[in-house]
Amino acid sequence: MQKIIILDFGSQTTQLIGRRVRELDTFCEIMPYNKYPEDDSDVIGVILSGSPFSVHDPEGFKPDLSRFVGRLPVLGICYGAQYYSYSNGGKVEKTNTREYGRANLAFIDKENRLFKGFDDNSQVWMSHGDSITAIPSDCKCIASTADVKYAAYCSEKAPVWAVQFHPEVFHTLQGSLLLKNFVVDICGSKQDWSAASFVDTTVRELKEQLGDDKVILGLSGGVDSSVCAVLLNKAIGKNLTCIFVDHGMLRKNEFRDVMHDYECLGLNVIGVDASEKFFGDLAGVTDPEQKRKIIGRDFVEVFNAEAKKQTGAKWLAQGTIYPDRIESLNITGKVIKSHHNVGGLPEEMHLSLCEPLKWLFKDEVRRVGRSLGMPDHLINRHPFPGPGLAVRILGDITPEKVRILQDADDIYIRHMREYTMPDGTKLYDNIWQAGTILLSTVKSVGVMGDERTYEHPVALRAVTSTDAMTADWAHLPYDFMAKVSNEIINKVKGVNRVCYDISSKPPSTIEWE
Asked if residue 349 lies in contact with residue 307, where contact means CB atoms within 8 angstroms, the answer is yes
DSSP 407-426: HHHHHHHHHHHHPBPTTS-B
DSSP 207-257: HHHHTT-EEEEEE-SSHHHHHHHHHHHHHHGGGEEEEEEE-S-SSTTHHHH
CA distances from 19 to 27, 323, 327 (A): 10, 10, 15
**Shortest CA distance to 32 belongs to which of 326, 318, 274?**
326
**Shortest CA distance to 31 belongs to which of 43, 23, 20, 41?**
43
**Shortest CA distance to 20 belongs to which of 1, 47, 59?**
47
What is the Cα–Cα distance from 210 to 438, expressed in whole angstroms?
44
Asked if residue 24 lies in contact with residue 189, where contact means CB atoms within 8 angstroms, the answer is yes
Asked if residue 454 lies in contact with residue 443, where contact means CB atoms within 8 angstroms, the answer is yes
What is the Cα–Cα distance from 149 to 421, expressed in whole angstroms?
45
Is 78 catalytic? The answer is yes
Is 168 catalytic? The answer is yes
Length of the chain: 513
Asked if residue 260 lies in contact with residue 251, where contact means CB atoms within 8 angstroms, the answer is no
Asked if residue 43 lies in contact with residue 188, where contact means CB atoms within 8 angstroms, the answer is no
For 299, residues 6+ apart whose C-beta sits below 8 A from its C-beta are 218, 245, 247, 340, 386
What is the Cα–Cα distance from 11 to 271, expressed in whole angstroms?
41
- Active-site hit among 128, 154, 166, 354: 166
Inter-axis angle of helices 223-236 and 362-371, nearest 10: 40
Residue by residue, what is the 3-state secondary structure of 350-380?
Answer: CCEEECCCCCCCHHHHHHHHHHCCCCHHHHC
Is 166 catalytic? The answer is yes
Cα dihedral: 76, 82, 84, 85 (round 10): 130
Regarding beta strands 74-77 and 28-32, do their DSSP bridges make them parallel or antiparallel, or are they unpaired? unpaired
**Can you tell me whether residue 78 is helix, strand or coil?**
coil
Asked if residue 342 lies in contact with residue 324, where contact means CB atoms within 8 angstroms, the answer is yes
- Active-site hit among 99, 168, 306, 455: 168
Asked if residue 400 lies in contact with residue 495, where contact means CB atoms within 8 angstroms, the answer is no
- Active-site hit among 78, 154, 242, 354: 78
Which residues are annotated as catalytic?
78, 166, 168
